């Protein structure tokens, strides 16, 4: 079954992606997206046909993506700091809060888009309290990334053999 993912942005137009719904969770969902064009994340190149598995949980302050090459080789994980997850029958939406954390296959973490957070605060699009919340969520990810990733892998393993 397909589901529409809507990633709401503070500083640019929303993004919409047609994804495959792999599993509904009591507090979220697991989606699969196949890239229809090449792209780059944290300096890492992704070919057309690369796959993103995404975990959305209402209680988490982030969305977790597992990103793999068309061959199935792990490219890395991306944590989007976010809030306000809503899962409906045919759509899922959330508020992206600018800051991302990239975890490479070795487990090294790179913080991305801190400049966007600073710019949005300077422009009055977000306040100091929200910046502090974003930073707190990033710290939670830094401290728990291996556990979050292994928990997601366990969920993916229970879905079936088509999941890398």
Ordered by where they begin, the domains of the chain are: 2-157 (2.40.380.10)
Give the whole-angstrom CA distance, residue 164 versus residue 157: 8
**pLDDT at residue 44, rounded to an integer:** 87
**pLDDT at residue 159, rounded to an integer:** 73
Model-wide pTM > 0.85:
yes
**pLDDT at residue 42, rounded to an integer:** 87
**pLDDT at residue 164, rounded to an integer:** 54
Give the whole-angstrom CA distance, residue 82 versus residue 91: 17
Query: How confident is the prediction along the chain (164 residues), in pLDDT tens digits per residue?
Result: 899 999 999 999 999 999 999 999 988 999 999 998 888 888 888 999 999 999 999 889 999 999 999 998 999 999 999 999 999 889 999 999 999 999 999 999 999 999 999 999 999 999 999 999 999 999 999 999 999 999 999 999 877 555 55
**pLDDT at residue 163, rounded to an integer:** 56
8 Å CB contact between 163 and 156: yes
The closest of 38, 32, 1 to 17, measured between CA atoms, is: 32
8 Å CB contact between 141 and 63: no
């Amino acid at each position: 079954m397909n589901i529409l993912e809507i990633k709401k942005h503070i500083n640019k137009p929303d993004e919409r992606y047609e994804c495959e719904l792999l599993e509904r969770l009591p507090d979220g969902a697991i989606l699969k997206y196949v890239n229809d064009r090449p792209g780059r994340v944290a300096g890492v190149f992704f070919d057309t046909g690369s796959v993103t598995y995404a975990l959305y949980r209402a209680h988490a302050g982030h969305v977790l993506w597992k990103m793999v090459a068309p061959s199935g080789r792990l490219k890395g994980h991306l944590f989007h700091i976010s809030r306000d997850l809503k899962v409906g029958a045919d759509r899922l939406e959330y508020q992206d809060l600018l800051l991302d954390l990239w975890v490479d296959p070795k487990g090294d973490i790179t913080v991305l888009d801190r400049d966007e957070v600073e710019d949005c605060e300077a422009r009055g699009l977000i306040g100091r309290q929200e910046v502090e919340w974003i930073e707190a969520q990033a710290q939670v990810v830094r401290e728990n990334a291996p556990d979050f990733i292994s928990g997601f892998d366990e969920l993916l393993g229970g879905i079936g053999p088509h999941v890398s």
